[in-house]
A and B are shown apart, each in its own frame.
Chain A
Amino acid sequence: MLRIAAQRVVQGVIVLVLVSAITFLLVNLAPGGPSSLMRMDATPEQREALTRRLGLDQPVPVRYLQWFSGALRGDLGISLSSNEPVAFRIAQRLPNTLLLAGTALVVSILVGIPLGVVAALRRNSLPDFVVAIVSVMGVSVPAFWLGIILILAFSVSLRLLPSSGIAGTGNEGDLVDRLQHLVLPALVLSTTVLPYVVRFTRSALLDVLHQDYVRTATAKGLSHVRVVYGHALRNALVPVVSIVGTLVPRLVGGSVVTEAVFGWPGMGRLAVEAANGRDYPLIVGITVIVAAVVVSSSLVVDLAYSWLDPRIRLT
């Protein structure tokens, strides 16, 4: 297990390097430049001066190598749009996204697995149908639409919940205030992954319930509860674990829109700002950090996968 983990770490590093190179080269292909140059009211002299100061007059491979040698030393460069170190900007925002995505993940698992179990056990009856509608609604409604409707309902009409931000100004230490700000965005973000948890729990449990060893256990006289929870569910959790692995990138993607609608100061919004402003070092920095998160989460998931089902040998 340890040898495999070490191998995967090495592979992960290679992945990160590849990702950084591909992203760096590709985003520099995009037309336009950093926002400080791309303004209606910037003079040609200004553009020239800034191009030189930001090092943009050098060829792309040279700039990548400069970035790379810095990255090896742990320096991810300076953000073009704020002059602060890229690592600093990411460190400001990453915890907020982890909070939001983590909460959404936990909510979708805590709600989704029981819903999936209910749907599987009461298959094709009313509860199954209701669960299907509820969970699928979340992934059928465009997130930004859902977001603005919730804001209109809960913030404007009912005045129950705040409509944006992570905490009220001046209340940054207040836990209740922070929770209030977390509710709507976490809810919206969790709807984007809830259906997957429900659906796969349901189908995985159904698969397992029809396997011979389950029928054997039932025939042997084991109670229904022990069969389901003691044997079936553990095996059914295997594909669900793999689903959790796929949820992480989905949450990362979903956070872009959710954070934009709710003004959540996280990585998703940072990514949008960086892309719009062609903040090349920040873009590459975000990509590398997110890739690191995804690679490590997939490593954890794969290791858990092989632990749960001893028949699966990871190569």
Chain B
Amino acid sequence: MTIPIAADPTMNPWHPNAFLESIFVNRVLFDSLTRPGKDLTPAPDLAVSWESASDGLSWTFKLKDNAKWSDGQAITADDVLFTFNDIVLKKELGATGAGNFAAVKSVEAISPTSVKFNLVRPFSALPSYLAYNAGILPKHAFQGQADPWAFTAFNKGMPISSGPFKVESYTSGQSVVLARNDAYFGGKPYLDKVVFKVVPDSNTQIAQALSGELSIMIMDNKAAVDRVKSAAQVRVEPRELVQYYWLSLNQTDPRFQDVRVRQAFDYAIDRQAIVTTIEKGYGKPANSAIVPAFKAYFDPSHDSQYAFNADKAKQLLSDAGWQAGPDGVLQKAGQPFQFTMDVGQRGVLQPTNELIQQNLKAVGIQADLNSMEWNAYIQKVVVSRDYTATVNWWVYPNDPDVFPYFHSSTAGKGFNIPGFKDPQLDDLLTRVQTETDLTKRKQAVTELQTFMADNLPYIFLWYPQEIDVINANLQGVPDINLRDNMHYVVEWWLKK
């Protein structure tokens, strides 16, 4: 059973180099305390149950007592403590995803099969975050390693793992072959091997899916979907994601501080057309940061807000004091409504920006495009915040806690890219983050969505779906996105 990855993985979920392709491999190799449930709520993995303290300042997790590492040693609270206290919470190591656990002060062992996460503030989303690329590492393997990131025999070789498959061989530039772990405590897997094959070119991936060399893949580029759908040897399945695309209008620019202007942008951009043309219909326009995949929280009442309406956009702009200039570009106090959008060259951002540019032109806004290589783009837009407007996306753990992307405290250097600040929004975000009562939390999330839709801290563009191309012989694959599905490889099987 073969899955394509774009480059060599690093087999350590916390390694600074372990992102993108490594995620797939690490989710198979390393069990975490919880895993994404098939309905996206956190399901047991290494932890069988958990509960929050009444003051919300700690969570206690009861661990499985029969979990073992691939070398036979038992998985205990010590491993959890090592992973968090010695790796994640050690700021100078710069572990990937450490920021997700900023609220964790320390982890202590109550017993060999029970751990307690001590928090600096209430953190209802902790169980979900523990399912998000948060594999537990074996303490005994790292004994004597001064620098966990330099332990290449583990990270780029044969790690001691806990999952249903373990590393059999790793060939740089070509593949990582995982063999079945017969002693897996979570049940015996059906598949013999899981091969992660390095295939960097997306067209080649499609060719290999059609020829049967690949068993399951994500179709990043949806252009070929009709051709693939007509092939009998594969099936095409859409999956829900926790992802939304957005346009960020830098709030340091006074033009964008007027909510009517932001709303005008939303009306001017034909988001449904973007979904139809670029995502081939796999997605829907977004009006908040809460994704439809959160069935318990998503509020569909905002779905038809900001339906494409160029006239309404022009009206709002006019209300905000913008008048048509001689060359068709809007003007206010002698200044044209002109700015540059920085475009990162990744995924569908380029054509998206081209469509948006034309939409804005139609209402009198001149947006010039500055296409940049991804790395340079991150430097300019994210690290230096030196931008006026830009399109990008957020992917986040399976929980509606979106505090880091919207709170006023995260403007400037944090993930609040537009730098939007509003005390009402702050209050709503804090309530969602700290509320432990489910009903009250749902209420807060509903109010949050309404605020976001009405005030547009980001211009929400659309929620994409993922398209998985699966070989007809591969069965038992749950209906969840491929990354979360990596936690369920133990259930997959191949028809002969």
Interface residues of A (CB under 8 A from B): 30-33, 35-36, 38-50, 52-53, 78, 81-84, 89, 92-93, 96, 148, 151-152, 155-156, 159, 162-167, 169-170, 172, 260-263, 265-266, 269-270, 273, 276-278
Contact = CB atoms under 8 A, between A and B. Distances in A.
A100 B197 CA distance: 20
Top 5 closest A-B pairs, CB basis? A265-B173, A49-B94, A32-B375, A43-B99, A36-B16
B204 interface: yes
A276 B174 contact: no
B316 to A, nearest CB: 30
Interface stretch (B379-387, B418-426, B427-435): B379-387
A151 B156 CA distance: 31
A157 to B, nearest CB: 9
Given A159-B211, A263-B200, 20 more contacts: A35-B17, A36-B96, A40-B392, A42-B99, A43-B98, A45-B99, A47-B94, A48-B94, A49-B93, A82-B8, A83-B10, A83-B150, A152-B207, A155-B208, A156-B211, A165-B197, A165-B198, A169-B195, A260-B201, A273-B7
Given A46-B98, A83-B152, A269 B207 contact: no
B379 A38 contact: yes
A46 B208 CA distance: 37
A49 B201 contact: no
A265 B210 contact: no
A156 B227 CA distance: 12
Contact of A276 (B213, B375, B395): B375
Contacts of B204: 151, 163-164, 261-263
A84 B156 CA distance: 8
Contacts of B415: 41
B29 to A, nearest CB: 17
Interface in B122-173: 149-150, 152, 155-156, 171-173
Given A36-B16, A49-B92, A276-B374, A170 B8 contact: no
B177 A170 contact: yes
A261 B195 contact: no
A49 B14 CA distance: 14
B173 A269 contact: yes
B212 to A, nearest CB: 9
A93 B173 contact: yes
Nearest to B231: A156
A262 B139 CA distance: 40
B295 interface: no
Q: Chain A binding site: helix, strand, loop or mixed by DSSP?
A: loop
A162 B207 CA distance: 10
Contacts of A261: 201, 204
Contact of A44 (B152, B197, B199, B413): B413
Contact of A36 (B17, B174, B195): B17
Contacts of A36: 16-17, 19, 94, 96
A31 B379 contact: yes
Given A45-B99, A46-B98, A32 B373 contact: yes
Contacts of A46: 16, 94-96, 98-99
Contacts of B2: 169
Given A83-B155, A169-B195, A169-B197, A163 B17 contact: no
A96 B413 CA distance: 43
Contacts of A266: 173
B76 interface: no
Interface in B9-36: 10, 15-17, 19
A148 B203 contact: yes
17 contacts: A31-B375, A31-B379, A36-B17, A38-B383, A45-B99, A46-B94, A49-B93, A49-B94, A53-B149, A82-B152, A82-B156, A83-B155, A151-B204, A163-B213, A164-B208, A169-B197, A265-B174
A152 B17 CA distance: 34
Contacts of B210: 156
B197 A81 contact: no
Contacts of B156: 82-84
A178 B382 CA distance: 44
A40 B92 CA distance: 19
A221 B91 CA distance: 87
Nearest to A32: B375
Contacts of A156: 207, 210-211
Given A36-B17, A89-B172, A155 B379 contact: no
B414 interface: yes
